[in-house]
Each structure stands twice: as structure tokens, then as C-alpha cells.
A and B are shown apart, each in its own frame.
Chain A
Amino acid sequence: MKTKNILTFSKAHFVALTATSLIGALGFLWPFLISTQVAHPQWIFLCATPLALAIFLISVSNGALDAKSVALLALLSALVAALRPLGTGAVGIEPMWFLLILSARVFGPSFGFLLGALSMLLSALITGGTGPWLAYQCFAAAWIALGVGLIPRRVRGSLEITALVGYAILAAEFFGIAMDLQFWPWYLGVDSQLSFSVGAPLTENLSNFMSYHFLSALAWDIPRAIFTSVLIVITGKPVLGALRRAHTRAAFLSPIEFRNLTANERAMGKMAAKQ
């Protein structure tokens, strides 16, 4: 027998995760996929995306989380959520990504997925930044943390930090694209040159989007990538150390054994104790 493991998704969870992610992905990508004039297609996804996420979170938290995982998840979500508004959010400087990525690295992608979604939700509640974009942000953060699982487990030392920095740059860019995608159809209105036009060919919309994204990336994504990378380089070693220590101390998957000592063993134990 062993103590419970930290949260890891089972096969059934992964099937559910794929389905949920698919809905989430559609929520981001719909502007490229529709070809006919529909009245406000975004509303469908505005409802579907948060619902999909909520259903998935509920299904996972039913039974798969033990007390220690819950405590760890709560503490880290609070930390990440509190870090987010510290950078005032201007030009993408949000000091939360480094901790999210490092935590996901130590505690695994499944835990990271939940942590990403929950901490975004929590920080939105703290700062009052709730709105239709919230579910998209949750999804994007959750995917970013999930993706940390792509870095091989056994990589350690400075190679690990390098890999994490590389990942952080990709993640910052990914978050930028994702946020632009959900913003783009709403933000620019119908008349601007870079705006989304319903029914236009895919290439035209794609090129419009890329131009729009390029403009916003200069202001937001590049500072975000630099800031997160620098934080990982500076704090990576001690923070990873502290988190790994917490992982060890929490004694996930420690063996539990109940047994009865034989008379012989008992005598041996006493002798060992006396020496």
C-alpha cells in the first residue's frame, strides 16, 4: 500500500481532456472556420468554452484529489494568482508565468493544467477582471502548464533551466496568439483594415490576423517572453529546489506497511536500538 499520488490524470481523464480541449480550441479558432454569415457565432463559444472547462474540472476533482494535492493546489493557485497583478499587467509584464511553469515542471502536467486554470480564475476574482475573456485565459494558462510535460523528466541542472527558458518564450508567444485570437473578432470593429471579416477566404483572414498579432506582439508578447525568461533564470534553481522539497516532504506515494513483528525481529530491533 502507498500514500496517494499527487494528482495525475487517468486515461478516462485524458479522453475528457481531449474533448474539452477540442471545444476550447474551436472557441479560439472559429473565425477561420466559418464561411457563411451567421448571427454572432462568438456567443456559442462564449458559453461553450467555460462550460467545457467547468465540467472537466469538476470531473477531475471528484475523487482524484486527496487532501495533500488539494492543499498544494490551493496554496500554489493563491501564490500564482497573487503574483499576477504585481506587475500591474502593463505590456504583458505579469510575474506569474515563471511560477506556473516551474510548478508544472515539478508537480507534473496534470497538476499544472488544474493549477493554470484555477490560478487564472482566482486572479480574475481578486483583480475584478472577470469577463467573457476569462475562460479563454484559463484555457490558455492550463494548456501552457500542461505543455511543460513535453520537457523530458530526467533533464536536470542548467540544461533544465535552458529548456524551461525556451519553453517560457514559446509559452509567452502562445499566450499572445491565443489572447489575440479571442480578442480580434471583437476588438477592431468591422471597418478597420485588420479586422475579421465574416465569410472572407481563410487566407485573407489569416493574413489580417497575423498583421494584427504582429502589432500587438511587439507591445505585449516580447516583453512577456523576456520578463518570464529572466525570472526563470534568476529564480529557477532555488524555486525548483523549494518545490521539489515540498514534493518530497508531502510524501506522495510513500510506502505504507502494516505488519506484525515476529518475536525474533522484535529482539533484533531491541538489540539494534541498544547499540
Chain B
Amino acid sequence: MIKFSNVSLIYPHSTKTVLEDLNCEIQEGEMVLVMGQTGSGKSSLLRLINGLVPHHTGGILAGDISVDGLSTRELKPGALAHLVGIVGQNPINGFVTDVVEEEIAFGMEALNFAPDVMRKRVEEVLDLLSLNAVRSRAISSLSGGEQQRVAIAAALVMHPKVLVLDEPTSALDPIAAEEVLSVLHRLVHDLSVTVIMAEHRLERVIQFVDRIIYIEGNGETSIGSAEEILSKSELVPPIIRLARALNLSELGTSVREVRRLTTDIRNIPVADIDSATRTHLPAIDVDSLTVKYGAQTALRDVSTSVGRGEIVALMGRNGAGKSSLLEAIVGVLKPSSGAVRVYEQNPAELAGKNRRERIGYVPQEPSDLLYHQSVRQECQEADLQAGLKDGTTLSFLDKLVPRISHDAHPHDLSEGQRLALVLSIVLSGDPQLLILDEPTRGLDYQAKTLFTRALKEYASRLNYPVLLATHDVELVAELVDRVIFLAEGEIVADGSTLDVLLSSPAFAPQVAKIMAPQPWLTVDHVVSALAEKL
């Protein structure tokens, strides 16, 4: 279906080869994952398939790519539109209309389909992706998983033979991600659509994919089955790290497979991990907080407190009220009733320098905080604001992510680099409380490890609390002490990470699913618990 022959790619005004001599043939009905570190050229590879690279971006392309026998050298992206459907990284940015049905019909309208054909196809695709119930809703009112499915439907309605997806599950909670992946699985198996996707959350996708294209930093690529690639790669999901740590004879990509391989290990009796709860002096107090947007209640009578030095995760579905709670604690959202106290003060009354010293806040879109022309300028500004010696922030950033170019424009950085920059700016003033809203979307495993280390260091060195909203259960398992689980604006669970994550099958991390009923969440837990036994 898709054939890459000796493909190399260089962008103009750059000396770095994005891809180097890629040879591979993707069959009809195959599901292929493209993986690699952030900024390694995954998106470029995907956009080579429909000719956007180099026809829209410029660049030197050696070799040839053909899709269903058509070479992208001769054809412009428009001429491949009927063959290749593409779903971008952030579907909400790509929507052109407001209503689900209209969005699905839009592409056919542009390709001049007859009205009766359009009508039929819209109905088909609504059923195929189970969107019939929301067909006349406004797209902005849908959940993340539904939006992603609408984007897939809009691409699929043109009956493409190839579907290309860039990070389809990064922004989704685990349940919505399952929803999207099972749809893709069905497309591949029932309709023989060829699916190619890039994704960082390997733990979610590897069990579905047939093959993996791994792009190493220097442009070299390797292609093979999931087991082949993952056995050598540096980027591996927890399930593979577990297999490596336990020296299993073979690698498994799904929970079921690895459970079968680890029956003996699970049955070794071990002592409980001591989950002695430390007592903390309270730093944040939330007292029967209610937040309403018009008639809609975002938070209902929420009371909790967070102690000094604690790292707490807020979890829950999209729209459960996580962001509202964070914003109320930061003081940018006015509560309808109830009170929030941060170190015995009302956060809404903090201003200027006082506020910067108290609360560090990283919003969902970290680039909202970046408005200078280069990384260096951003860091200088941060030093100035916090009254630090010139270069403090910059050297902190270099420690966090080495090899970041100081003259790069902040918006040209990769997702992970940008988060690191914002984090260094926010942390430069050593705020007494750190609040992060979905910090790890778009981060690869290495960036996540750096991120985890930086937050742990902050919490333990200064004994200040960290509060973060996230969907990333693997991150929660590695990082946090306590989980607060929100649903419909209410706290439904509040307890140690172990208790909360193990009690919910959907939100349990992979290692916990494999090792159940043993109370282990991460590879490190397993290794340390078994250290004496093995």
C-alpha cells in the first residue's frame, strides 16, 4: 500500500537529516506505529505519506514514496486527498465547522461529492464510529475522546485507503483512549484500512500494532515487529521494562501475555510495602468549595487539604472539574461559595511579587506563559522578575534539558522542551506551592523521567507541595504520594496512590494490572519487593 524506497529527508536551512535511507513497505490493512523521541521526525514521516512534506514545507527529498502506486513526487497533496486521510495532533485545531454532522460532511463538500452520496456516507460513518448519539451536538461540547472520533470520522468518510494519525491518544484519559484505539483496531480488521500513527504513550498502543518504525535521533530508522524493536530500543513502556527487570525469556506486549509469563513471580509471598502515612502540616485548605459556570456546576461542595511536601494528583474524566479546582486554588477562578486558603491566605487576594513567591502555576497550554522571542530572553525576564542573579534560570534549564538552543524561539521548541522551559521559569522563584495542569501530554519517556525527577527534588528539597491534574496513570504511579479522584465535580476517592489506583481497573497502571493482586504499581516497586526473593 505504502512503499518507502531509499527515503532521506532534509529541510531547507538545516543541516540535520530528518530521515536517513528509509526502506519499508506497508501492506494493506496493516497498523504501524511510528515511535521516536520528541523532535525526531515522526510528524515529518507521517506527512511525507500524503506529500505535505515537501510540497508545502520545502525540503530535499531523496528516494521515492508511493501510496497505492502513486508517487508523491509527481502529485500534490490535494491529489492524494481521496487516498490518505490525516488526523492532526490536536483535532480541535483542525475542525472547520461547529456541528458533528457538518464537520463530517465538510471534506466531501470540498471534493464535490453528490448530495445523496454524502448523505449515505455520513450515516455510515456515524454508525461505524458510534457517533450517532452526538450527531447534532456542537463539537466544542464533546469530550476529548468523542472529538478525536469525530476527527477520525471526518477523515474516514472520504473512504481513504490509508489513515494517518499524529498522537491520537495523548490528550485523552485512559478510557477515552481505549475507545479510540478500539475503533482503529476495528477499522484495520474489518475494513482493511491501513493505519499509521505516531504516539508517545506506547503502553496504550503497542498491543494493537503490527509493526513499529523506530526513528532514532540521528535519522536512522529500524522497522520490525513490536517485540523486535522494543527489545533493543531505549524508549520502552513499563511493561517492557518490567520484562527486562525480571529477565523474562520473552517480551509480551499485552497485559494478558505478561501475566502468563509471570505467574510464578506473582505467587511469591512478600511482605507488604509499609504505607505509613506521614503527617504533613497543611499548606492548602479547601473548604466546601462550589464553582458554577452559569447554570452548570463544575465543583460541588469539595473539601480537602494538601500538606507541605506532598505530591498530589487530581485524576478523573475530561470535564470532571480538575482544572476548575486547580484554578480556584491558584486564585484565578472565583468560587461561588466556600473558601480556599493557601498558607492561611486567600489566593485571590495575592498580587504581584507576593503572588509569585507563593504560587507557581503551569497551565494546560504551557506556551501561554511564553511571550518573548527567544529562550534566553524568557529566562532573563524570569531572573529579573524573581530578583535572581543573571543566568540562574538558564542554567537550571540546562540542567533539566541539556542541549536546548538558547536562541530558539520558544514556540519552535518541542513539547517537552517547552514544558521544561516553563517549569524552569516557574521554579526559578522557588514558589511555595506548585500547580500543574496536565503537564505531560506530548512528552516521551525520557522527558517524563526528567520531569519526575525535577518535581520530586522540588518537593523534598523545599518541603513545598505539588498539585497536578493528569490522565497519565504511569506518571502518577511513579511520582505522587496521594491521589484525589474527581467525578461530576465531587471527590469520589481520596487516598494513597496505591489504594486509589489499585481499586479502579481503568486507572490502574500496566504493572499493577500484570501484578494484581500484588500491590505493586511500578517496575521499581516490583524490583525492590522481590529483591530479597530473587
A3 interface residue per 8 A CB criterion: yes
Q: Contact: A269 with B17, CB < 8 Å?
A: yes
**B interface bracket (residues with beta carbon within 8 Å of A):** 20 to 34
A43 at the interface (CB under 8 A from B): no
A13 within 8 Å of B by Cβ?
no
Query: Which residue of chain B has the shortest Cβ distance to A259 in the bound complex?
Result: B62
Q: Which A residues lie within 8 Å of B61 (CB)?
A: 256-259
B56 within 8 A of A: yes
Cα–Cα distance between A179 and B378 once the two chains are bound (Å): 45
Q: How far is the CA of A261 from the CA of B8 in the complex (A)?
A: 9
Q: Is the CB of A259 within 8 A of B60?
A: yes
CA distance A273 to B22 in the complex (A): 14
| Bound Cα distance A269, B56 (Å) | 25
Q: In whole angstroms, how far apart are the Cα atoms of A106 and B20 in the complex?
A: 36
Contact check, A269 vs B20: say whether CB atoms are below 8 A apart: yes
Closest to B20 in A: A273
> Cβ of A68: which chain B residues have Cβ within 8 Å of it?
56
Neighbouring B residues of A241 by C-beta, 8 Å: 373
Closest to B61 in A: A258
In the complex the two chains form, what is the Cα distance from A273 to B220 in whole Å? 8
Q: How far is the CA of A260 from the CA of B373 in the complex (A)?
A: 38
> Are B218 and A260 in contact, with the CB atoms below 8 A?
no
- What is the bound-complex CA distance between A257 and B60, given in angstroms? 5
In the bound complex, do residue B56 and residue A3 qualify as a contact, i.e. CB atoms below 8 Å apart?
yes
Residues of B within 8 A of A274 (CB): 218
Is B63 in contact with chain A by the CB < 8 A criterion? yes
By the criterion CB–CB under 8 Å, are B220 and A260 in contact?
Answer: no
> How many angstroms from the CA of A260 to the CA of B409 in the assembled complex?
33
Residues from 38 to 83 in B contacting A, C-beta threshold 8 Å: 54-63, 73
Q: Give CA–CA (A260, B71) in the complex, Å.
A: 14
Contact A3:B57 (CB < 8 A) given known A241-B373, A255-B12: yes
CB distance from B409 to the nearest CB of A (A): 7
Complex: chain B residue closest to A273, CB-CB: B218
Cβ of B431 within 8 Å of any chain A Cβ, yes or no, is: no
Name the distance in Å between B315's Cβ and chain A's nearest Cβ.
36
Residue of B nearest to A256 (CB): B54
Q: Is the CB of A270 within 8 A of B58?
A: no
Q: CB of B287 within 8 A of chain A?
A: no
| A68 nearest in chain B by CB position | B56
* A270–B73 touching, CB < 8 Å: no
A68 and B56 CA atoms in complex are apart in Å by: 8
Taking CB atoms, residues of chain A closer than 8 Å to B220 are: 270, 273
A72-115 at interface with B (beta carbon < 8 Å): none
The answer to whether the Cβ of B219 comes within 8 Å of any Cβ in the partner chain is yes
Q: In this complex, what residue of B is CB-closest to A245?
A: B409
Chain A residues within 8 Å of B409, by CB: 245
Instruction: Determine how close the nearest CB of chain B comes to the CB of A261; give it in whole angstroms.
Output: 5
Q: In the complex, what's the smallest C-beta–C-beta distance from B419 to chain A, in angstroms?
A: 21
Q: Cβ of A258 and Cβ of B17 under 8 Å apart?
A: no
| B62 close to A256 (CB less than 8 A) | no
- Whether the pair B57, A261 counts as a contact (CB closer than 8 A) is no
Question: How many angstroms between the C-alpha atoms of A274 and B21 in the bound complex?
Answer: 13
Whether a CB of chain B sits under 8 angstroms from the CB of A266 is yes
A145 to chain B, nearest CB (A): 26
Instruction: Tell whether A272 is near chain B: CB-to-CB under 8 Å.
Output: yes
> Are A255 and B58 in contact, CB atoms less than 8 angstroms apart?
yes
Contact residues, A215-271 vs B (CB, 8 A): 241, 245, 251, 254-261, 266, 269-270
The docked-state distance in angstroms from the alpha carbon of A274 to that of B219 is: 10
Question: SS class of chain B's interface: helix, strand, loop or mixed?
Answer: mixed
**B380 touches A (CB below 8 Å):** no
Number of interface residues of A (CB under 8 A): 21
A40 near B: Cβ within 8 Å?
no
Residues of A near B12 (CB, < 8 A) are 251, 254-255
Q: Indicate whether A2 reaches chain B with its CB closer than 8 angstroms.
A: yes
Interface: B6 (CB within 8 A): yes
Residues from chain A with Cβ under 8 Å of B59 in the complex: 254-257
Write out the residue numbers on chain B whose beta carbons fall within 8 Å of the beta carbon of A269: 8, 17, 20-21
Which residue of chain A lies nearest to B53 when distances are taken between CB atoms in the complex? A256
| B58 in contact with A260 (CB, 8 Å) | no
**Can you name the residue of chain B whose Cβ is closest to the Cβ of A237?**
B373
Instruction: Check A3 against B55 for contact (C-beta < 8 Å).
Output: yes
CB neighbours of A258 from chain B (8 A)? 61-62, 73
User: Cα distance A245–B410 when bound, in Å?
Assistant: 12
Which residue of B has the minimal Cβ distance to A66? B56
Shortest beta-carbon distance, B58 to chain A, in Å?
A: 2
Chain A residues with CB under 8 Å of B63's CB are 260-261
Answer whether A3 and B62 are a contact pair too, CB < 8 Å, given A260-B6, A272-B17. Answer: no
Measured CA separation A269–B218 after assembly (Å):
10
With the chains together, A200 CA to B8 CA distance in Å? 75
Q: What is the CA–CA distance of A255 and B13 in the complex, to the nearest angstrom? A: 10
Q: Which residues of chain B (1-36) have a CB below 8 Å from chain A?
A: 6, 8, 12, 17, 20-21
When the two chains form the complex, which single residue of A3, A67, A255, A266 contacts B21, counting CB atoms closer than 8 Å?
A: A266
Q: How far is the CA of A39 from the CA of B72 in the complex (A)?
A: 62
Distance A272 CA – B10 CA, assembled complex (angstroms)? 13
Indicate if the CB atoms of B60 and A273 lie closer than 8 Å.
no
> In whole angstroms, what is the CA distance A269 to B73 when docked?
22
**Which residue of A is nearest B59, CB measured?**
A256
- Nearest A residue to B57 via CB reads A251
Q: How far is the CB of A252 from chain B (nearest CB, A)?
A: 9
Contact A256 B20 (CB under 8 A): no
A270 in contact with B6 (CB, 8 Å): no
- As a 0/1 sequence over residues 140 to 160 of chain A, the CB contacts with chain B under 8 angstroms (1 = contact) are 000000000000000000000
Per-residue interface assignment for chain A, residues 1 to 33, with 1 indicating a CB less than 8 Å from any chain B CB and 0 otherwise: 011000000000000000000000000000000
- Name the distance in Å between A197's Cβ and chain B's nearest Cβ: 53
Q: Which chain A positions have C-beta within 8 A of B73? A: 258
If A254-B12, A260-B62, A261-B63 touch, does A270 touch B56 (CB 8 Å cutoff)? no
Q: Please give, as numbers and ranges, the residues of chain B lying within 8 Å of A273 by CB-CB distance.
A: 17, 20, 218-220
Whether A261 pairs with B373 at a CB distance below 8 angstroms is no
- Smallest beta-carbon distance B468→chain A, Å: 31
Per the bound structure, the CA–CA distance linking A232 and B352 in Å amounts to 28
Name the residue among A2, A254, A256, A260 with the largest chain B CB count within 10 angstroms.
Answer: A256
User: What A residues does B54 contact at CB under 8 A?
Assistant: 3, 254, 256-257
CA distance A256 to B219 in the complex (A): 19
The answer to whether A251 and B20 have CB atoms under 8 Å apart is no
Question: Taking the nearest CB of chain B, how far is it from the CB of A275, in angstroms?
Answer: 9
A2 touches B218 (CB 8 A): no
Q: Given that A272-B17, A273-B20 are contacting pairs, would A251 and B219 also be in contact in the complex, using a CB cutoff of 8 Å?
A: no
Contact between B62 and A254 (Cβ–Cβ < 8 Å)? no
Instruction: Give A92 to B61 CA distance when docked, in angstroms.
Output: 52
Residue B58 contacts which of A256, A259, A272 (CB distance < 8 angstroms)? A256
- Kindly state the separation between the CA atoms of A105 and B432 in the bound complex, as whole angstroms: 46
Please give me the residue from chain A that is nearest to B411 by CB atom: A245
| Minimal beta-carbon separation of B221 from chain A (angstroms) | 11
**Given known contacts A2-B58, A270-B20, A274-B218, what 8 new A-B pairs fall within 8 Å (CB)?**
A3-B56, A251-B57, A256-B54, A256-B59, A261-B6, A269-B8, A269-B17, A269-B21
Which A-B residue pairs are the 6 nearest by beta carbons? Answer: A254-B58, A273-B218, A257-B60, A261-B62, A256-B54, A251-B58
- Pull 10 A–B residue pairs with CB atoms less than 8 Å apart, ordered by A: A3-B58, A251-B12, A254-B59, A255-B12, A256-B59, A257-B60, A258-B62, A261-B8, A270-B21, A270-B220
